C-alpha cells in the first residue's frame, strides 16, 4: 500500500516514509491510496483477540512495508499492562440503555492521545531504520495540552530522536502544564508560546515547510517529523479502538455481527473522529458519526452550512483540548469525499489560509450529510452533564467527554435514533479537576491543582491516577516562553545548531 498527499496525488510514498516525514513537502497530508477491507468474519474472529492482536490485524493492512512480526512487537510493547492500567487498554463502560463510554484514558498520561502515542515511537523507530539513513529524527509538536505530554512520554529517551513541544501559554489546564514542564528524559524540550493552539500549530507547520531550516538540519544529519495527528502514524492506531469497541459489543451480546453502531466523539483537530470514519470505510458497521464541539463550534456550523469559517472569536473553555478553530484533519476527510480531488483540496486550503474560510461543493456537502452530524455544547451544558451523569450513574466524566455525552443526548432526543452508540471518553476526570469540581458544585477556592484532585477524591471516592498524583513531587524543568515569531529560532537553539 502506498500513500498520497491530499494536495498532490502524484506524491507517492511508503508507510514508513509517510511516518518519518509526518507531512508532505507541499503542505498536504498523507492518506492511504485505498481503504483495506475488514470483513465481518475477521471482526467476529477478533472478538477473542487481545487489544495488541486487534491492533496488529488492523495496522498490518495499512503498514504493508512492515512485517507482521514487526507490527506485532510494536503493539505488544505499546499496549502492555505496564503502560495501560486497566483490564484492557480501551474498555467499554455502559452509560445508559443505548450508549457506551469507550474509555481511552488508561494510559500513562491519562488522555486518549496515549492510544496512538504509546505505539508511534516504535513505529517511528522502524520507519526511520527503513528510510531515514541514520538521520536523527526531530519531532516537533504543537499541543492544546494532551498531545504534548503523551508525545513527550512516548518519545522520552527514544534512540536517535529529539522532541520539542510548543504549547499555548494560557491555553492548557494547570495539570496539563505541570505534566509537560516536569517531563523527564534527555532528548526532550518544552516551550510555551504567547498565542493560542492555532498559532502553535500554524507555526509548527510553517517550520515544516521551511526549506532553509530543513537544509540546516540535514547538514547536521537530522530531519523533522511530527507527532501531531497530521502524522499518519498517529491516526492509524486510532482506527483500532473503534474496531475493538465493536468486537466488545459483540462479545457482550449488545449487537449481532453486522448490526450498525453510532460513534460520538468530542472533537478538536478532527483526528479522533476521522479515525472512526476510516474504520467505517474499512467496513466496520458504523451508521452515523456524531461530531461534538464545545463553544468553539466551527465544525458544527460547517456540517450545517458547508462553509468552514474560522473568522470568529476564539473561546477558552473548560475543555481546552477542543479549543481549536483550524481542524487539520478535516482536509483528509474532504479529500475522500471529493473523490480525491487533490487540486480542489489545494484550492480550499489555500482559501482557508488566505481568507480564513471556504465553502465545499454541493456534492461534498451531500456526502458529509450521509455520514456526519455535528452538535455543540456550551459551558453550562457541559457542567450540567457532568453533574447529571455523576448523580444518576456515579460515573465521573471529564469536561471533554461531557461535551460528547451532551451532544449525543441532544441527537438522540431530536432523532429518536436508538442505535447502540459508542461515545469516545477522551480524558480521565482528574486531568481537568477544576472543571469537574465546578460541575459538582464543590467549592475549590484557594486550592492548588493537587489539592483540587484531593478534594475531588474525597467527594467522589474515585482514586487519583498514580501518574497525576506523582507529579506533585516533581519540580519544573522547562520555563521558557517565546513569541510566535521566534518559534523557528527556538527550534534551532534547542537543537544547538542555529547561528
Ligand X SMILES: *Cc1c(COP(=O)(O)O)cnc(C)c1O
Contact footprint for ligand X (CB under 6 A):
111-113, 146, 229, 266-272, 321-322, 400, 426-427
Q: Which one, of 310, 309, 242, 231, lies nearest residue 280 by Cα?
A: 242
Query: In whole angstroms, how close is the CB of 458 to ligand X at the nearest point?
Result: 24
Query: In whole angstroms, how close is the CB of 296 to ligand X at the nearest point?
Result: 11
Triad 473, 195, 169: Cα angle to 5° = 10
Q: 336 by DSSP, 3-state: which?
A: helix
Q: Which one, of 449, 484, 492, lies nearest residue 175 by Cα?
A: 449
Q: CB-wise, 251 or 316, nearer to ligand X? A: 316
Q: Are strands 136-142 and 161-168 parallel, antiparallel or unpaired?
A: parallel
Q: CB-wise, 147 or 262, nearer to ligand X? A: 147
Query: In whole angstroms, how close is the CB of 324 to ligand X at the nearest point?
Result: 7
Q: Which one, of 217, 171, 317, 236, lies nearest residue 36 by Cα?
A: 236
Q: CB-wise, 179 or 229, nearer to ligand X? A: 229
Query: In whole angstroms, how close is the CB of 229 to ligand X at the nearest point?
Result: 5
Return the half-sphere exposure (C-beta side, CA atoms, 13 A cut-off) of residue 151: 31
CB atoms within 10 A of CB 260: 13
Query: In whole angstroms, how close is the CB of 266 to ligand X at the nearest point?
Result: 5
Query: In whole angstroms, how close is the CB of 176 to ligand X at the nearest point?
Result: 9
Q: Are strands 3-5 and 30-32 parallel, antiparallel or unpaired?
A: antiparallel
Q: CB-wise, 192 or 276, nearer to ligand X? A: 276
Cβ atoms of 264 and 421 within 8 Å: the answer is: yes
Q: Which residue bears the cell 510548543? A: 166
Q: CB-wise, 66 or 105, nearer to ligand X? A: 105
What span, in angstroms and rounded, lies between the C-alpha atoms of 223 and 382? 42
Q: CB-wise, 321 or 338, nearer to ligand X? A: 321
Query: In whole angstroms, how close is the CB of 268 to ligand X at the nearest point?
Result: 3
Query: In whole angstroms, how close is the CB of 359 to ligand X at the nearest point?
Result: 22
CB atoms within 10 A of CB 374: 21
Q: CB-wise, 56 or 228, nearer to ligand X? A: 228
Q: Which residue bears the cell 519544573? A: 476
183-187 long-range Cβ contacts below 8 angstroms, 24+ apart:
183/149, 183/152, 183/153, 183/156, 183/477, 183/478, 184/156, 184/474, 184/477, 185/152, 185/155, 185/156, 185/157, 186/157, 187/155, 187/156, 187/157, 187/158, 187/161, 187/162, 187/163
Q: CB-wise, 322 or 368, nearer to ligand X? A: 322
Q: Which residue bears the cell 491519562? A: 110
Identify any residues that bridge with 12 across adjacent strands, giving them in sequence order: 4
Q: CB-wise, 364 or 427, nearer to ligand X? A: 427
Query: In whole angstroms, how close is the CB of 286 to ligand X at the nearest point?
Result: 17
Q: CB-wise, 146 or 341, nearer to ligand X? A: 146
Query: In whole angstroms, how close is the CB of 235 to ligand X at the nearest point?
Result: 9
Q: What are the cell numbers at 270?
A: 478532527
What span, in angstroms and rounded, lies between the C-alpha atoms of 442 and 424? 26
Amino acid at each position: 500500500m502506498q500513500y498520497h498527499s491530499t494536495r498532490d496525488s502524484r506524491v507517492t510514498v511508503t508507510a514508513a516514509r509517510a511516518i518519518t516525514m509526518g507531512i508532505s513537502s507541499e503542505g498536504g497530508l498523507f492518506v492511504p491510496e485505498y481503504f483495506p477491507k475488514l470483513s465481518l468474519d475477521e471482526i467476529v474472529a477478533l472478538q477473542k483477540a487481545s487489544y495488541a492482536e486487534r491492533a496488529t490485524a488492523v495496522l498490518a493492512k495499512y503498514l504493508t512495508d512492515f512485517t507482521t512480526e514487526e507490527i506485532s512487537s510494536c503493539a505488544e510493547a505499546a499496549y502492555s499492562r505496564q503502560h495501560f492500567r486497566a483490564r484492557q487498554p480501551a474498555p467499554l463502560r455502559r452509560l445508559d440503555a443505548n450508549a457506551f463510554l469507550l474509555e481511552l484514558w488508561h494510559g500513562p498520561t491519562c488522555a486518549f492521545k496515549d492510544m496512538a502515542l504509546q505505539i508511534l515511537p516504535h513505529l517511528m523507530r522502524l520507519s526511520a531504520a527503513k528510510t531515514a539513513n541514520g538521520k536523527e529524527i526531530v519531532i516537533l509538536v504543537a499541543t492544546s495540552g494532551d498531545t504534548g505530554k503523551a508525545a513527550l512520554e512516548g518519545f522520552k529517551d527514544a534512540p536517535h530522536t529529539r522532541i520539542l513541544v510548543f504549547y499555548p501559554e494560557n491555553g492548557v489546564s494547570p495539570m496539563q502544564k505541570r505534566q509537560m514542564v516536569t517531563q523527564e528524559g534527555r532528548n526532550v524540550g518544552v516551550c510555551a508560546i504567547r498565542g493560542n493552539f492555532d498559532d502553535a500549530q500554524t507555526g509548527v507547520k510553517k517550520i515544516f515547510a521551511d526549506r532553509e531550516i530543513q537544509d540546516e538540519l540535514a547538514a547536521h544529519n537530522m530531519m523533522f517529523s511530527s507527532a501531531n495527528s497530521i502524522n499518519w502514524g498517529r491516526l492509524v492506531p486510532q482506527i483500532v479502538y473503534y474496531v475493538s469497541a465493536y468486537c466488545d459489543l459483540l462479545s457482550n451480546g449488545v449487537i449481532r455481527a453486522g448490526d450498525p453502531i453510532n460513534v460520538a466523539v468530542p472533537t478538536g483537530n478532527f483526528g479522533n473522529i476521522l479515525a472512526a470514519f476510516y474504520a467505517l470505510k474499512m467496513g466496520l458497521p458504523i451508521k452515523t458519526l456524531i461530531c461534538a464541539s464545545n463553544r468553539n463550534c466551527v465544525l458544527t456550523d460547517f456540517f450545517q452550512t458547508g462553509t468552514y469559517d474560522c473568522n470568529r472569536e476564539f473561546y477558552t473553555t473548560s475543555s481546552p483540548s477542543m479549543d481549536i478553530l483550524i481542524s487539520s484533519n478535516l482536509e483528509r476527510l474532504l479529500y475522500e469525499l471529493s473523490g480525491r480531488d487533490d487540486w480542489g483540496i489545494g484550492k480550499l486550503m489555500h482559501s482557508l489560509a488566505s481568507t480564513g474560510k471556504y465553502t465545499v461543493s454541493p456534492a461534498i456537502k451531500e456526502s458529509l450529510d450521509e455520514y456526519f452530524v455535528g452538535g455543540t455544547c456550551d459551558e453550562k451544558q457541559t457542567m450540567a452533564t457532568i453533574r447529571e451523569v455523576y448523580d444518576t450513574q456515579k460515573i465521573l466524566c471529564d469536561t471533554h467527554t461531557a461535551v460528547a455525552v451532551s451532544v449525543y443526548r441532544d441527537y438522540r432526543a431530536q432523532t429518536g435514533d436508538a442505535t447502540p452508540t459508542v461515545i469516545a471518553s477522551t480524558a480521565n476526570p482528574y486531568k481537568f479537576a477544576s472543571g469537574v469540581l465546578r460541575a459538582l458544585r464543590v467549592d475549590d477556592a484557594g486550592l492548588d491543582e493537587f489539592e483540587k484532585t484531593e478534594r475531588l477524591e474525597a467527594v467522589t471516592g474515585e482514586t487519583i491516577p498514580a501518574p497525576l498524583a506523582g507529579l506533585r513531587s516533581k519540580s519544573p524543568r522547562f520555563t521558557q516562553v517565546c513569541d510566535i515569531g521566534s518559534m523557528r529560532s527556538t527550534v534551532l537553539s534547542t537543537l544547538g545548531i542555529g547561528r
